[in-house]
């Protein structure tokens, strides 16, 4: 490929400047897992600036979606890594959601045409004190009530590494507390697919069995969205934790 002369000249000059005597490059292309080990030694993360910048990015994404006739699903996730308690998760969740909705307002996003996809408020994955569904429901709904305007039509929770059954039961507990100003529903990945994939195992002969498992979990979550789930879909691997430490997208 023959480059235009002006581009070729500029590239050569840049490469020569980088390789100049006494100079080198700071590498920043390593994995999340390795770079996180060094960042973990720094206190006060994430910074106020970091939260504000991420909130701004989510709001710009939402605004661009709406300008192109797409409904944005805004996803500010608080990861479950760590030993923090449920009160800490609630405080951080509220702080982040408040920042996100300020930016959504500043960027002119029409809340009536958007959805929120947050984490549920739970203790950290390594916290010794586990929370009951009623506690998760209370803290999650309270955090939403403090930060999410009623103009938003729906909150579509991510499962965040909870087991399939945990994600379903916690959603059910929230909807039993209703009515709420927004619909509380699900947008699960692992918590809808794990048992199905296990049942299928890549074997065509297991197709019907896998479909049956998927329908069972889909029905359970549909009932949880209505607050009527009776806990009758907990068989198999549905109770197995789907948490992955240091999970990244």
Q: Which of 61, 37, 136, 50 is nearest to 99 (CA)?
A: 50
Q: Write the CB contacts of 47 (distance below 8 Å, at least 6 apart in sequence).
A: none
The neighbouring-strand residues paired with 157 are 186
- Residue from 75, 77, 134, 135 carrying the catalytic annotation: 75
**Residue 117 known to be catalytic:** yes
Nearest to 119 by CA among 155, 153, 149: 155
Gap between the Cα atoms of 66 and 60, Å rounded = 10
d(CA 108, CA 59): 9
Describe the chain by its helix, strand, coil percentages, rounded to 5. Answer: 50, 5, 45
Cα 175 to Cα 227: distance, rounded to the nearest angstrom: 5
What sign does the dihedral 211-216-219-224 (CA atoms) show?
negative
Three-state DSSP class for residue 74: strand
CA distance 219 to 245: 29
Residue 240 is a catalytic residue:
no
**Out of 95, 117, 176, 240, which one is annotated catalytic?**
117
Contact 105, 151 (CB under 8 A): no
Task: Indicate which residues carry an active-site annotation.
Answer: 75, 117
């Amino acid at each position: 490929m023959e480059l235009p002369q002006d581009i070729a000249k500029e590239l050569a000059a840049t490469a020569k400047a980088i390789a100049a005597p006494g100079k080198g490059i700071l590498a920043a292309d390593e994995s999340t897992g390795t770079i996180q080990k060094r960042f973990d030694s720094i206190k006060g993360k994430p910074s106020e600036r970091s939260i504000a910048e991420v909130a701004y990015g989510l709001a710009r994404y939402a605004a661009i979606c709406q300008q192109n006739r797409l409904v944005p699903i805004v996803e500010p996730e608080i990861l479950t890594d760590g030993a923090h308690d449920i009160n800490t998760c609630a405080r951080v969740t509220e702080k982040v959601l408040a920042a996100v909705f300020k930016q959504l307002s500043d960027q002119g996003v029409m809340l009536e045409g958007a959805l929120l996809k947050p984490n549920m408020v739970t203790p950290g994955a390594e916290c010794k004190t586990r929370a009951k569904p009623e506690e998760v429901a209370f803290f999650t709904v309270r955090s939403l009530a403090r930060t999410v305007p009623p103009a938003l039509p729906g909150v579509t929770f991510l499962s965040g590494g909870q087991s399939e059954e945990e994600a379903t039961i916690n959603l059910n507990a929230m909807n039993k507390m209703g009515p709420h100003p927004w619909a509380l529903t699900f947008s699960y990945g692992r918590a809808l697919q794990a048992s199905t994939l296990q049942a299928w195992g890549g074997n065509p002969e297991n197709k019907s069995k896998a479909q049956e498992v998927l329908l069972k979990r889909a029905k359970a979550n549909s009932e949880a969205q209505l607050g009527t789930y009776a806990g009758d879909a907990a068989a198999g691997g549905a109770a197995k934790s789907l948490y992955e430490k240091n999970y990244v997208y």
